[in-house]
């Protein structure tokens, strides 16, 4: 069981150090466009129902007032009831304009609240994101970013959001990202005089395990022995495997690994005198 022991002070410091990518934030919000549409529709239905009911009540009151006016003024000119009914008709038009405005306002208010909640969650997020830079956060080299398998979506909105997320960035396929990451690991290991490296991270089964296996195959073809260690912080047997390790590469899954878990991993390998070659983030 993974536990999170980070304090609020640590979280505030981590949030201050983390650069917030505006494009990544916008793309994240837009990627939940289906939920936003549902929220907008719920706001429109709820606000429309409330405003419609209130307009109906006001219309009934206007008709009642017109009827009272007609009864009280029977001895005056015949035009008076017509004026009351004309006023009632005008009120109906005015009230239904208010209904439309109130309905639209309610829908967009719901949408605004939805976006605000998501934005707050984004700021308070305690898990590493694909847009985060390991160099800036932990002062270790970022050896690669492994993107997800590109799936052809028939939805034009999803394709547009994906292009927005990689705005002003070169786009690579997953296989090319793995090749680049394996090459970066090999170069770093050779410069440190190492012929064996360890790929370690937290909860690799969440999606980074497949990337580690592929990197292992590629590196072993280059005569570099690879050991994969998962959940070193929480598994005593895995932690014991570090005894013979001389160089490690952190492999972390975006939206799975906690920021403070990476800090703990770096502290652990530092105490063991193990060289940190860098880190890799897996989308």
Give the pLDDT band of residue 122 (cuts 50, 70, 90). confident
8: left (phi over 0), alpha (psi -120 to 50) or beta: alpha
Residue whose tokens read 């878990």: 261
Residue whose tokens read 């929480």: 234
Give the pLDDT band of residue 196 (cuts 50, 70, 90). very high
DSSP secondary structure of 127-184: B--TT--HHHHHS--EEEEEPPPP---S-HHHHHHHHHHTTTS----HHHHHHHHHHH
Note the pLDDT of residue 101. 73
Q: Which two tokens stand for residue 224?
A: 């570099």
The residue-averaged pLDDT of 151-156 equals 58
Find the helix or strand (DSSP H, E) in which 277 lies: strand 275-282
Give the pLDDT band of residue 116 (cuts 50, 70, 90). confident
- Highest mean pLDDT (candidates 123-127, 184-188, 201-205): 184-188
Residues 215, 226: Cα–Cα separation, whole Å: 9
pLDDT in tens, 57-114: 666 666 666 566 556 555 444 444 455 455 555 555 556 676 677 777 777 787 788 8
Note the pLDDT of residue 92. 55
The residue-averaged pLDDT of 244-250 equals 93
Residue whose tokens read 């997320």: 165
Residues 41, 56: Cα–Cα separation, whole Å: 22
For residue 247, is pLDDT > 80?
yes
For residue 147, is pLDDT > 80?
yes
Note the pLDDT of residue 64. 65
Residue 267 or residue 117, greater confidence: 267
Give the pLDDT band of residue 21 (cuts 50, 70, 90). low
For residue 152, is pLDDT > 60?
no
- Tell me what the pLDDT averaged over the chain comes to: 76
Query: Of the candidates 174, 191, 164, which has an alpha carbon nearest to the alpha carbon of residue 282?
Result: 174
């Amino acid at each position: 069981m993974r536990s999170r022991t980070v304090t609020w002070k640590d979280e505030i410091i981590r949030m201050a150090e983390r650069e917030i990518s505006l494009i990544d934030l916008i793309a994240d919000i837009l990627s939940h466009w289906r939920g936003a549409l549902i929220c907008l529709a719920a706001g429109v239905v709820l606000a429309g129902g409330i405003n419609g009911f209130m307009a109906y009540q006001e219309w009934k009151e206007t008709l009642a007032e017109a009827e009272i006016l007609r009864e009280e003024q029977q001895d005056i000119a015949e035009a008076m009831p017509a004026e009351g009914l004309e006023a009632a008709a005008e009120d109906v038009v005015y009230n239904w304009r208010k209904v439309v405005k109130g309905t639209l306002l309610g829908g967009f208010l719901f949408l605004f609240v939805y976006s605000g909640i998501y934005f707050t969650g984004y700021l308070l997020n305690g898990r590493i994101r694909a847009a985060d830079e390991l160099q800036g956060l932990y002062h270790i080299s970022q050896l690669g970013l492994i993107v997800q398998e590109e799936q052809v979506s028939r939805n034009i909105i999803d394709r547009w959001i994906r292009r927005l997320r990689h705005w002003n960035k070169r786009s690579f396929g997953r296989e090319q990202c793995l090749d680049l990451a394996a090459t970066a690991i090999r170069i770093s290991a050779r410069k440190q005089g190492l012929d064996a490296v360890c790929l370690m991270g937290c909860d690799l089964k969440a999606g980074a395990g497949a990337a580690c296996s592929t990197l292992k195959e590629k590196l072993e073809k280059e005569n570099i022995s690879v050991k994969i260690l998962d959940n070193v912080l929480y598994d005593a047997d895995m932690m014991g495997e570090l005894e013979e390790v001389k160089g490690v590469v952190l492999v972390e899954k975006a939206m799975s690994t906690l920021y403070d878990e990476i800090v703990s991993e770096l502290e652990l390998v530092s105490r063991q005198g193990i060289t940190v070659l860098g880190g890799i983030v897996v989308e």
